[in-house]
Structure 1
Amino acid sequence: MVAERHLSACDDPDVGDGARPQLPREVRVLAVVAFVVALGFGIVAPAIPIYVRSFGVGGTAVGLAVSSFAFFRFVSAFGGGALVERFGERVVLTAGLVVVAVTTGAAGLVDHFPAFLALRSAGGVGSAMFTVAALSLLLRVAPAEHRGRSAATFQGGFILGGIAGPAAGGLLAALSPRLPFLLYAAFLLLAGAVGLVLLRTPATQTATPDTPQSAPPLPLAAALRNRAYVAALVVNFGVGWMLFGVRNSLVPLYVTEDLGRTVAWAGAGLLVGSVAQAVGLLRSGRLVDGWGRRPSLVVGSALATGSVALLVGPPSTPVFLVSMAVFGLGASLLASAPAALVADVSPARGGRVVAVFQMASDLGGILGPLAAGALTDAVDYQLAFGVTAAVLAAGLVAALLLPRR
């Protein structure tokens, strides 16, 4: 099968020998949009737990605030795919960003947790529209032999934007926990304008037999019988659990309550992880294409699992910073390899296959903060991190079970 040919190494003889063909214009524009979105998200991430705490609620409510966004992304994914098919990627991407911008700005102005939760939930719908449209466009235009590079370039936009965001967000949250939400809304509107002006929806009729656009849709049932696709789902679930869930909901509270540091240290920890991930992304895409999907998944999952396991021990600021750095390196590989596997398994028009892949990450982002928050309230942070490490370890096992060729 197509996916199996990519598990150990890409078939393209140019990969790994220094050749660097130019990626499609859409990939580069999506990276710019991702940069702007991540810059705003990085600013608001450290403020969310602190802002929610100001409503007088506990750790479980903080987890609920993060999970609600991911939950509505999850339940809206198929609807987002239908909108993409009806109106095209560019329009849906822009509309999704506008929805998130409006709800985020309003969330920064409310005085009660229920109103904040409702706005965060509505923002999740817009986020699903943006995410499905962006991923659909990326996989449609990415050359088969450079899917790892394309995914890494797209993710690189998110990471580079996230480098400046968390540190600034921690400082801004110290001034006012509302301010980051308003700035994030402005960044989202800017990203929507960039997408509307510079992106173009690929025309299926211009596709050649060798391009992803020309391939027939792959039934979801067939994809679920493919071990490579299942491994991508398991890994992406763990990434969502930690990267988009626990890291944003639990880590800032761990820093302020268990380590006894200020919220600015939480931003610094996220910054360290983002820098490490950005450094890793400089090579991860070419490693995924040239070294192979399976080795990249194994190494990335092992680094991610080990990094979170470090936090199971006694609270220590240096260990926390090392953990964030190591997790960033692992996440750089996990940002490219699973998406490349999905593109190998399914042609770009297999919308349900792509949607379920995204939904796996969202499901992890839903369950992770809730489970970790409940475990922290009932026992301690160490148990919550231990369970998170076990979830990531499941991805490592799934990667090891893939065939070597």
Structure 2
Amino acid sequence: GVELDPQVLIISFMTLVIMLGSSVISPVLPLLAQEFGVSYAGAGVLVSAFAMGRIPSDFIGGALVDRVSPRLVASSGAALVALSAALSALAPSFSALLWYRLIGGVGSALFTITAMAFLARTVAPQRMGQAMGFYQSMLLLGVSFGPSVGGLAASLAHSLRAPFWVMALLSLAVTLIGFRWIGEFPTTPAGPHTSVSAQTSARAALASLLHDQTFGFVCVLTFLIFAIRSSTQLNLMPLFAQEELGLSESGIGMVQSLCSLANFFVLWHAGRLLDRIGRRRVTLPALWVTALVLLAFPWATTLPRLIGVSVAFGVVLGYLAPAPAAIIADLAPQGAIGTVMGLYRTAGDIGLLFGPAVVGWVAGHLGFGAAFAGAAGCTILVAALGLSMRETLTSRQVTTEVLPAVEVEEASS
């Protein structure tokens, strides 16, 4: 069975609620943009505004978590999301809505970074894969159920703005839970002298980490995972299903849900596997299989085939997705966990921002086959890069048991 620390459960539950809140508005965003008389591209900008708010805040939030109380950063983040949702519900114009979405992105980044830094800081390395797997499964659950809750709220209240109020209430609940339940970071068990030199040694460890090949690879891998998930599952696959198979919105929604469900069901096993056989042995095979599944998409011209390939895509992403977070947690030096998590999330959010645009452009100009092949090609390149990656699980596990202070040297070696 899986034994998880109560703090992991609380953080994961809060993430579920905040992600539920953030995705509640996804069905109404494009419609609201049209209500303001904006084009499809304008509606796309509305989605990107959230990511634009996140990218600079990832790094700033990470640095904050290392210096300020995690309880304060997480609660402030959730409060900003609540504020952004309430303001969006009352937005008088499209430009105002854009600014409010940007604020939401900042809040979302602050909350997410704190949650991940907290897990990296409090969970033992031998349990990190499981903790990250569970955390991501809760995140996914929130993202998956949000749109249906939002659609329901909009139709019950006969208003496109109703989902924003749902989001505001959910985020407010998380703000209060965070203030009440999030603890402080455990102090590093390396004696009283660390406080003076902690910042300096963390900085030195961070500098050496930036020259670490494995760390560089994980940032590239994170960029790829975010780019491929957003461009394929949320962009290419729906367009392909509509144009090649003539699927309706509800049909597309069903295929997407099956993909997310498959993803959800393997995350637990993926986390346990990461802890049992190591990060490298899970990551590299998952990358090669991802490339194969992407190449199979253009062949999926009937509904059963499309469902099969989409489910396979969900499964293989489920094995791939928790790996980077676990590796980052292995590598991060004690005093700079937030900063390192910030770098990791920045790589992902940049992928989220550019992936759909680039892949969408290729699909529009060169066709679906080229777009899927291009995504597969990028995956193969990253898999080849990954051959130089070292295993990060064992190196830290051995030393942490004996002397936690060795972590910084471990990370920099």
Partners of 1:248 and 1:372 in 2: CA distance: 11
Which residue is 2:287 aligned to?
A: 301
Is the contact made by 1:245 and 1:366 (CA closer than 8 Å) also made in structure 2? no
Per the alignment, do residues 312 and 115 of structure 1 end up closer, same or farther by CA in structure 2, a change over 3 Å counting?
Answer: farther
Pick the structure with greater CA Rg: 2
State which of 267, 270, 273 in structure 1 corresponds to 2:259.
Answer: 273
Instruction: Please report how far the alpha carbon of residue 274 of structure 1 lies from its aligned counterpart in structure 2 after TM superposition.
Output: 2.1
1:189-204 map, 5 Å: 189-204=172-187
| Partner of residue 249, structure 2 | 263
Question: In the alignment, is residue 362 of structure 1 matched against residue 345 of structure 2?
Answer: no
Tell me what 2:142 maps to.
161
Q: Does 1:331 align with 2:317?
A: yes
Deviations along 1:235-278, one digit per CA (max 9) or x if unpaired, are 11012213346544555555556654443334323321221122
Cα separation, partners in 2 of 1:328 and 1:314, compared to 1, 3 Å? closer
Q: State the shift of 1:33 in Å.
A: 0.8
Q: What does 1:111-122 correspond to in 2, within 5 Å?
A: 112-122=93-103
Unpaired segments of 5 or more residues in structure 1?
1-17
Change in Cα spacing, 1:277 to 1:58, as seen in structure 2 (3 Å) is same
Q: Cα distance, 1:233 vs. partner?
A: 1.0
Q: In structure 1, what is the equivalent of residue 119 of structure 2?
A: 138
For 1:230 and 1:84, locate their aligned partners in 2 and report how far apart those are by CA, in whole Å: 22
Q: Which residue does 1:182 correspond to in 2?
A: 165
Letter in 2 for 1:139: A
Which residue is equivalent to 2:222? 236
How far apart, in 2, do the equivalents of 1:245 and 1:38 lie? 19
Gaps of 5+ in 2: 395-413
Structure 1 residue 368 displacement after superposition: 1.3
What residue number does 1:83 align with? Answer: 64
Say if 1:90 and 1:338 are closer, same or farther in 2 by CA, change over 3 A.
Answer: same
Q: Secondary structure at the match of 1:219?
A: helix
2:386 is aligned to 399
State yes or no: 1:28 paired with 2:6. no
Please name the residue that 1:11 is paired with: none
Which structure has more RCO (C-alpha within 8 Å, separation ≥ 6)? 1
**Distance in 2, Cα, partners of 1:374 & 1:61:** 16
1:303–1:67 CA distance, 2 compared to 1 (3 A): farther
Change (3 A) 1:83 1:155: same
CA distance in 2, matches of 1:373, 1:48: 19
Q: Secondary structure at the match of 1:147?
A: helix
**Contact 2:63–2:342, Cα closer than 8 Å, also in 1:** no
Shift in alpha-carbon separation, 1:31–1:144, aligned structure 2, 3 A = same
Please say if residues 237 and 360 of structure 1, whose CA atoms lie closer than 8 Å, have aligned partners that are also in contact: yes
Instruction: Give distance in 2, aligned partners of 1:58 and 1:250.
Output: 20
**Distance of 1:249 and 1:117 partners within structure 2:** 21
- Contact 2:18–2:171 (CA under 8 A) maintained in structure 1: yes
1:71 equivalent to 2:42? Answer: no
What SS does structure 2 have at the residue aligned with 1:201? coil
The alpha-carbon distance between structure 1 residues 352 and 192, as it changes in their structure 2 partners (threshold 3 A), is same
Shift of residue 49, structure 1, vs aligned partner: 4.3
State the superposition RMSD in angstroms.
3.2
Q: CA deviation at 1:119?
A: 2.1
Displacement of 1:338 in angstroms is 0.9
Change (3 A) 1:84 1:352: closer
Cα pair distance change 1:284/1:113, threshold 3 Å: same
Give per-residue Cα distances to partners, 1:272-313, cap 9 Å, x unaligned: 122112210121111001111112112332343333333345
Amino acid at match of 2:171: L
Task: Give the C-alpha shift of residue 61 in structure 1.
Answer: 3.7
CA contact (8 A) 1:162 1:274 kept: no
TM-score by length of 1: 0.81
3-state SS of paired residue (1:35): helix
CA contact (8 A) 2:59 2:346 kept: no
**Pair 1:82–1:228, CA change in 2 (3 A):** closer
Look up the equivalent residue of 2:179 and give its one-letter code.
L
Deviates more, 1:258-267 or 1:283-292: 258-267
Give the alignment of 1:99-110 within 5 angstroms.
99-110=80-91
Of all paired residues, the percent bearing the same amino acid is 29
How far did 1:326 drift? Answer: 2.0
Higher helix proportion? 2
Segment of structure 1 superposing worse, 183-192 or 24-33: 183-192
Q: 1:373 Cα shift?
A: 3.9
Q: 1:347 to 1:227 in 2, by over 3 A?
A: same
What letter is aligned with 1:44?
I
Q: Say whether 1:284 aligns with 2:270.
A: yes
